[in-house]
Structures are given as C-alpha cells and as structure tokens.
Amino acid sequence: MTTTSEKVLKDIKEKHISPAPRWRFLAKNWTIWLIFSLAIFVAALSFATMLYILTNHDWDIYFRLHKTFWQFLLMSLPYIWIVSIIVFSWIAYYDFVHTKGGYHYEAYRIVSASILVSMFLGIVFFYSGLGRKIDQALDANVPFYGNININKRQMWCHPDEGLLGGEIVKVQMDDPASFIVKDCNGKEWDIRESIPQIKPIIIHAGERIKIIGKEMVGQNFDAEELRRW
C-alpha cells in the first residue's frame, strides 16, 4: 500500500507539477499593497471633498427654506462622499487582510487604522485645496453630480424666499453694483446691491454667484449679500 506522500510524488511526476516562481508571489503581494494604498488614497480624497463641502455650506439659510436646522442638516449631508469613504475603507481592509501576515491583525484595528490614515491625509488634501478642486470639477463637468450631492442649484433657486443663484451674464461698467444673473431655470434677473457689504467681493461676467436679498417687481432682485459659489 502506498503512503500519502508517495501518491503526492507520483501525481507531481505524472502531471509535471513544478513550484510557482517566486516573482509570482511577489507580484501578487505588491498588487494587493497597491490596491490597498489606492483605496486609502481615494478615501482620503473623498474625506477632503466632504470637508470642503461641509465647511463651505451655507448653514445659515435653512430658515429661508422653511426647514428646521436638523431637517436642513439631513438634506445637506454629502452622502455620496460618506458612502465613498466607507466603501474604500472596506476595500483597504479587505486587501490588507490578504497581504502576507495581514490575517494576524484584528479587524477593528485594521479598519480603525485605515480610517485614521484616510482622515489625516484627507485633512492635508483639504488644506492643500484638493477637496475644493474635486468638488468644483465634478460640479462643472458631471451633469448629475448636483442631484446626488448637495444641490446648490436647487437650493439657491428660490427668489421668492430671498435666495437667488446663477451665472453672472453682464456687469454694468458704469455701475458695478448693478448686474444681470441667469438662474437655474435660465431666467435672467436684474440685480441691484442695496446694502454695501462689509467685505465686498469683486464680480466678473461668467462667474457663478449666490445672492441673498428680496424679489422685486418684474425680473428685478434687490441684493443684500453676495456670496461666491
């Protein structure tokens, strides 16, 4: 009767089985580490973008939309970026446990470390301006971005409630306090600044802007405060 080892040796000889080259194991391990690093990087970018959105959100206008602060908070959270952070943190965890020796670590330690590293890098990216660039690029080039993120276009399309936003079409050369804005519905408004701001902002045609004020007769809007988009 043949032993198990003899059967194995016989199979190796008959099937011409040879050990896998070392470079294949190294390539697999480095690929896993690369995916792990990319997952951390994307989670960090998501966190930076979320920080930018939350710190530049107009938290003081909720009463104009007839919402409580908590209702406004729920409708303002950048859910797409929160989900993105969760997904890529999970990918980072999954890849780490498949690295050499990764299975020795407890799950909560891996997840916690991944999130902390993503948050640290995200704060660095946020202060470097990456979060702002990502949000503005997606808002300008991805049509459905506003529907899955904080919809500033819709939020600032309530002239009857004193909230008007859109693109500056023309600035009066002889009177910079008077200009024309095209809103989210394509309607053009004649804007007139009635109350000078403490820190006035310089505006140019082609820029997008947010205006707090009062709707007047016709397509006129009395601006009390201007904010950059």
Query: Among 125, 148, 171, which residue terminates a domain?
Result: 148
Any domain includes 8: no
**Is residue 144 domain-shared with residue 161, that is, in the same domain?**
no
**Which regions in the chain score pLDDT beneath 50?**
1, 198
Q: pTM here? A: 0.67
Any domain includes 16: no
Q: Output the six-digit token pair for 98.
A: 């498949």
Query: What range does the domain containing 170 cover?
Result: 156-228
**Is residue 42 domain-shared with residue 140, that is, in the same domain?**
yes
**Residue 27: its pLDDT value, please?**
66
CATH code of the domain in which 187 resides = 2.40.50.140
**Residue 1: its pLDDT value, please?**
45
How many domains would you assign to the chain?
A: 2
pLDDT digits (tens, 9 = 90+) for 91-120: 877 777 766 655 555 666 767 777 888 889
**Residue 87: its pLDDT value, please?**
85
**Residue 124: its pLDDT value, please?**
95
